[in-house]
């Protein structure tokens, strides 16, 4: 269970100092058709117990790394940056 506050102070590259940042979760945009066909290259996907006649190969990992978008709250600064945190099954903001 990972809980992250909705705002917190972090270093803003543009301002050059710590500023409050708004935190949102990064969601991938709609997959392009090409990305959807991306294979999982885990070798375990082939062989006894592996995938057969499946067009969309699935990721072997059961969790994804959570990516946070930190947006600087300073009115003239609109810099955003991404911050990845460890894998977890449940993630909450606030």
Partner 1 sequence: MATQAKRRRVAGPAGAGDPDPDPVAGFLSWCRRVGLELSPKVAVSRQGTVAGYGMVAQESVQPGELLFAVPRAALLSQHTCSISGLLERERGALQSQSGWVPLLLALLHELQAPASPWSPYFALWPELGRLEHPMFWPEEQRRQLLQGTGVPEAVEKDLANIRSEYYSIVLPFMEAHPDLFSPRVRSLELYHQLVALVMAYSFQEPLEEEEDEKEPNSPLMVPAADILNHLANHNANLEYSPNCLRMVATQPIPKGHEIFNTYGQMANWQLIHMYGFVEPYPDNTDDTADIQMVTVREAALQGTKVEAEKLLLYERWEFLCKLEMVGEEGAFVIGRKEVLTEEELTATLKVLCMPAEEFREFKDQDGWADDKKEEDSLTITNIPKLKASWRQLLRNSVLLTLQTYATDLKADQDLLSNKEVYAKLSWREQQALQVRYGQKMILHQLLELTN
Binding stretches for partner 1 (CB under 8 A) = 31, 37-39, 41-43, 46-59, 61-63, 65, 81-84
CA distance 82 to 40: 24
Residue 76, CB-side half-sphere exposure with 13 Å CA sphere: 2
CB of 15 to partner 1, least distance (A): 16
CB of 31 to partner 1, least distance (A): 8
Judged by CB, which is closer to partner 1: 6, or 38?
Answer: 38
Judged by CB, which is closer to partner 1: 48, or 75?
Answer: 48
CB of 62 to partner 1, least distance (A): 5
b/e string for 22-50 if b means 16 or more Cβ within 10 A? Answer: ebeeeeeeeeeeeeeeeeeeeeebeeeee
CA distance 75 to 14: 12
Judged by CB, which is closer to partner 1: 22, or 61?
Answer: 61
């Amino acid at each position: 269970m990972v809980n992250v506050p909705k705002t917190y102070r972090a270093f803003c590259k543009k301002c050059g100092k710590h500023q409050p940042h708004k935190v949102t979760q990064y969601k991938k945009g709609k997959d392009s058709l090409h990305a959807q066909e991306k294979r999982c290259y885990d070798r375990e996907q082939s062989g006894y117990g592996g995938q057969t006649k499946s067009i969309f190969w699935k990721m072997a990992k059961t969790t994804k790394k959570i990516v946070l978008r930190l947006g600087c709250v300073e009115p003239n600064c609109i810099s955003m940056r991404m911050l990845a945190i460890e894998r977890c099954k449940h993630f909450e903001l606030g």
